[in-house]
Amino acid sequence: GAIPVLAVDGPTASGKGTLAAELAKALGYHLLDSGALYRATALAARNAGVALSDGPNVARIAARLDIRFDGESVWMAGQEVSHELRLESTGGLASQVSVHPEVRQALHELQLSFQRLPGLVADGRDMGTVVFPQAQLKVFLTASAEKRAERRYKQLIAKGISANIDSLLLDLQARDERDKSRAAAPLKPAEDALLLDNSELSIESSVEQVLGWWEQRK
Ligand code: C5P
């Protein structure tokens, strides 16, 4: 039989990462944070002095990406990069490299390799549409831009990082726009995705909702 996949897609700061991690924990499944691969590619390209607009050369870097996930931490070429990877600025760089079809292609197989027994929860923008179109369940998670900016603001403040809610909102809208309007694998719900708006939902309620769907689908 096929190895089960639960795909979670959605815009920036929709809470996908948290939801996917909680689902993987509850189900005892592997977790793919595909955004981390785009983030890592962007950092590796920058460190190598490759312009983020140079699709073919960034793709070469993506194909040779030396990345390891170990619980909460991420290692690149033997260096702990968890903090740098999660920076808001790194997300912006990631969205620049992610527009290149060559880069997406270069990361395709690496993403497929995460599909292992007993199952996978995959988090990103195109998990249900491109990478795992056969997923048993596809969730498209949304929340209003204001709500997402507010959550991101609270996260940063809690980490002791100063932030401005208006500029966060603008950054987030710019990133959404770039992700939705690109030609290669734009951000959009798969035709058979179930939509979940978590603007007014707690994390626990979102997890419960998706686990309920999963019980019916798998
Ligand atoms: O999800 P995260 O914020 O880590 O993703 C960073 C960026 O990587 C996104 O803004 C998007 O441009 C890109 N990305 C993508 N496809 C994915 C995951 C992330 O294009 N599956």
Nearest CA to ligand 1 atom 11: 95
pLDDT over 70, % of the chain: 100
Highest mean pLDDT among 118-122, 144-148, 185-189: 118-122
Burial of 16 (0-12, 13-18, 19+ CB in 10 A): buried
CA angle 23, 27, 32 (to 5 degrees): 55
CA 145 to chain centre: 17
Each residue of 85-101: b (16+ CB within 10 Å) or e?
A: bbebebbbbbbbbbbbe
Report the helix count and the strand count for the chain, using DSSP H and E.
Answer: 9, 8
Give the DSSP letter string of 94-134: HHHHTT-HHHHHHHHHHHHTT--TT-EEEEESSIIIII-TT
179 lines ligand 1 (CB under 6 A): yes
Who wins on pLDDT, 51 or 182? 51
- CA gap 141, 159 in Å, rounded: 24
> How many angstroms does the Cα of residue 125 sit away from the middle of ligand 1?
6
Over range 151-166, report the average pLDDT: 90
- 102: phi then psi, degrees, rounded to nearest 5: -65, -35
217: confidence class by pLDDT, cuts 50, 70, 90:
confident
Our answer on whether the CB atom of 38 is closer than 6 Å to any ligand 1 atom is yes
Is the minimum distance from the CB of 95 to ligand 1 under 6 angstroms?
yes
Structure confidence at residue 179 (pLDDT)? 87
Expressed in angstroms and rounded, the spacing between residue 187 Cα and the centre of ligand 1 is: 9
Q: What's the pLDDT band for 117 if we cut at 50, 70, 90? A: very high
Strands (E), 134-202: 137-142, 194-197
Residues comprising the chain, all counted: 218
Say if the ipTM goes beyond 0.95. Answer: yes
The per-residue pLDDT for 1 is 62
- CA atoms of 83 and 59, how far apart (whole Å): 23
Rounded mean pLDDT of 110-124? 97
Give me the half-sphere count of Cα atoms (radius 13 Å) on the Cβ side of residue 110. Answer: 22
**Whether 207 contacts 23, CB under 8 Å:** yes
Ligand 1: centre distance to CA 55 (Å): 16
Own/partner pairs, 86-92, CB within 8 angstroms, 24+ separation: 88/152, 88/156, 88/168, 88/171, 90/39, 90/42, 90/43, 91/12, 91/35, 91/39, 91/175, 92/171, 92/175
For a substitution probing ligand 1, which of 41, 95, 107 has the most ligand atoms within 8 Å of its CB?
A: 95
- Among protein residues, the one whose CA lies closest to atom 12 of ligand 1: 95
- For the Cβ of 94 lying below 6 angstroms from any atom of ligand 1, the answer is yes
Distance from residue 176's CA to the centre of ligand 1 (Å): 10
Q: How far apart are CA 18 and CA 160, in angstroms?
A: 20
- For residue 111, the ligand 1 atom closest to its alpha carbon is 21
β pairing state of 73-76 and 67-70: antiparallel
